[in-house]
Structure 1
Amino acid sequence: MASSSQSAEEAQHAKLWSKSAHRSIPSQNDVSEAHASSIPSLDLDKIEVRMNNLEGLSNGWRSLPDQVKVRFEEKYGRIATLMQVKVQIPALKAMLSVWNSKYGVFSFNDIDTVPTMEEYQTLLGIPYSLQNRIYLHLEHRQTWKRLAHMLGTPPEEVKSKETAKGNTHGWYWTYLQKWLDQCLREKQWDQASVALALGIYGLILFPGPLGIITCNAVEVFWTVERQQINPIPAILAETLLTLTYCRQQGKGSLKCCSQLLYLWIISHMCPVETKGLTWYLDQPPIKRMTRLVISLKNEQQWWERILSFNSHDYCWRKLWTSGQPVLISTGGNQSVSLIGVTGYTSYTPALVMRQFGSTQSVINIKEYHQGRFYHELKEEEGLKMARKSWENITLMEKSPKGPSASGDYLKWRTDRDREHSHQRIQGQQPSPKRPIRGS
């Protein structure tokens, strides 16, 4: 919807769901009683979505000649477009309220859905050498030496500029921006492109404390630059890890690529507004999406939009998504191990196969890992298994049949809701201003 007001149909949806939203909550509370009791209520007022100032990056991008921008995208993908994304933070908060940390999906009504690697890859178009050559977290790296090598600066200087903020080490973006500005003045376009890409990795794709390019972001960028690894699993890992952390704590700061998560949300939750992206491919979808006007503005409106969908009218698949085979498992399991910069987790494509135009099915929940953060690890056995699982990946050709769900899945989903229907919140509509319990 590109207009400033809701359509009559959408207004009717909002009216209906404002009366009956509390009856739909059991679909989100598909966790065991013990699990539910261990999760605090979610207070959206205590959820922060802090985003970096991108003015310096944007000015640098505009200073590049067009032919340099073309070469940049050929090398790094369409990551620069993320600078143009205007994120509606209430949309992220509303989606967090339906995040199910037990299964690693957004769960509402009769829908399980989650961002997938293929969707993120199609939006960003990041080239890589091999699909299973991914970022592998290793300790005891001297990141400052790698950064000095990329900057062409004496290692001692880079080491002296390293800063610490809490447990996070890195460099202030202002320090790196001086190098960018110098490259632009001297028209050293290759070096300027490296600076811009590094800034995008540190301020957007793998954000840390505001204004800091973390050692973690530098490490990922180094492997992309030198080894052409596939960074998408790490980007997705950080999305799922931060959603689970905030949901389990009931508060916190969403630290992931908010721009990319927001684009995923509107691609599925705003089918009217994004309809044209399905058919017109004169430009990559991400560039057209930055020009969309999405009128919903607050958590309540986004909440009502989310609850207006069921599995029959939800926008499962966008036809602009990649036609390449789908990665459905690593290590012979139903889950895909994801290794990020702060921890590792997994997601289970079987639960969201409708997004690939295939059949949604029941999963073995024992194979799904909610996630562990590196600073909490007392042993690295789980991380070692996650790394090793990428030696054996399973791909599936996309199905031409169209989205569907197996009978077993439908029964499992129904039983899941019925079993926990006692957890419904009686007598009130969930509100962004009230704590939300569930999932």
Structure 2
Amino acid sequence: MKVDKRLFRALVQFWNLAYNCFTFGKVDLVPTIEEYTALLRCSRVQIDRIYSKAVNVPTFLRKLMNISGMSEQWVTVRIKQKGDSRCIHWKDFKDLILAHPDVGKRVDVRALSIYGLVVFPKTLGHVDEAVTDLFDRLDKRVSPVSVILAETFRSLNAYQKAGEGRFIRCVQLLLAWFHSHFWKVDKFSYWVFSESYSLLKEIVATPRRDNISEEKWMAIF
């Protein structure tokens, strides 16, 4: 989903630090676990099994080996230290996506890359160690929704306090949630009840103007 930076900058100005919600005049609006679960189409079995970091977890090295299917030597030489975090460069994953002999591993590495670069980006162009821990737990039927939502709130607070900077927690999903509240449905059909229907795909596919100024968005809000 293309990020409309002018829309986002205007939207953040209505973020209420005291109550952790957007306040538009007398209306308060905030993303909920239920809404994000619906957008991400998380299975019902996951709703009551939220992610939390376990006490005893495999090492970063071991998790990368399990996810990628590569050898200890291959992984070891590619782990980098960036500030206070350990990570692996996206280019190394890109090479695996293009050439890995195991189709399942190609899919896993691609999915991990999306989590590391889009959902929880920290170091530009790298996938962070913390993301691999969450991703490693997904096949155990835990829901990532609460962690995505909590990190989104934390980033909104930091962004609002600083008044600038880079929003690093899944701005695409936040804007998709925003559009879901202002999306006009011209005709209602049975397909919205189909298991194959995805509201998120519908939102992304809906054409929108991207030339509205930040001032105009402020006036609309």
Same fold (TM over 0.5): yes
1:109 to 13, 19, 25: 25
2:151 to 212, 231, 238: 238
Q: Which residue of 1 aligns with 2:47?
A: 131
Give aligned-pair identity as a percent.
26
Distance 1:189 1:128, change over 3 A: farther
- SS of the aligned residue for 1:208 comes to coil
Distance 1:134 1:205 in 2: 17
- SS of the aligned residue for 1:220 comes to helix
Matched, 1:256 2:169: yes
Distance 1:216 1:278, change over 3 A: farther
Asked if 1 retains the 8 angstrom alpha-carbon contact of 2:93 and 2:110, the reply is no
Gaps of 5+ in 1: 1-84, 307-439
Q: Which residue of 2 aligns with 1:303?
A: 218
- SS of the aligned residue for 1:244 comes to helix
Residue pairs, 1:312-351, within 5 angstroms: none
Asked if 1 retains the 8 angstrom alpha-carbon contact of 2:69 and 2:105, the reply is no
Q: Deviations over 1:202-259 (max 9, x none)?
A: 112212222111111111100002x111100011111101001111233332111111
Distance 1:278 1:196, change over 3 A: farther
Q: Which residue of 1 aligns with 2:103?
A: 189
Number of residue-to-residue matches in the alignment: 215
Cα distance, 1:109 vs structure 2:
0.3
Residue pairs, 1:73-112, within 5 angstroms: 85-112=1-28
- SS of the aligned residue for 2:77 comes to helix
Q: Which residue of 2 aligns with 1:120?
A: 36
Q: Which residue of 1 aligns with 2:60?
A: 143
Residue pairs, 1:284-433, within 5 angstroms: 284-295=198-209, 297-306=212-221
Q: Which residue of 2 aligns with 1:178?
A: 95
Asked if 1 retains the 8 angstrom alpha-carbon contact of 2:85 and 2:128, the reply is yes
**Which stretch of the first structure deviates more once superposed, 155-164 or 127-136?**
127-136
Output the amino acid matched with 1:169: R
Distance 2:109 2:27 in 1: 41
Q: Deviations over 1:178-224 (max 9, x none)?
A: 111113xx4x3222211221111111221222211111111110000
Gaps of 5+ in 2: none
Asked if 1 retains the 8 angstrom alpha-carbon contact of 2:33 and 2:145, the reply is yes
Distance 1:121 1:277 in 2: 24
Distance 2:5 2:153 in 1: 17
Question: Considering only aligned residues, what root-mean-square deviation do their CA atoms show, in Å?
Answer: 2.1
Larger of the two Rg values belongs to structure: 1
Asked if 1 retains the 8 angstrom alpha-carbon contact of 2:138 and 2:144, the reply is yes
Output the amino acid matched with 2:73: E
* TM-score, with structure 1 as normaliser: 0.46
Q: Deviations over 1:134-193 (max 9, x none)?
A: 22135785212111122122223312211122223211111111111113xx4x322221
Distance 1:301 1:182 in 2: 47
Distance 1:249 1:209 in 2: 19
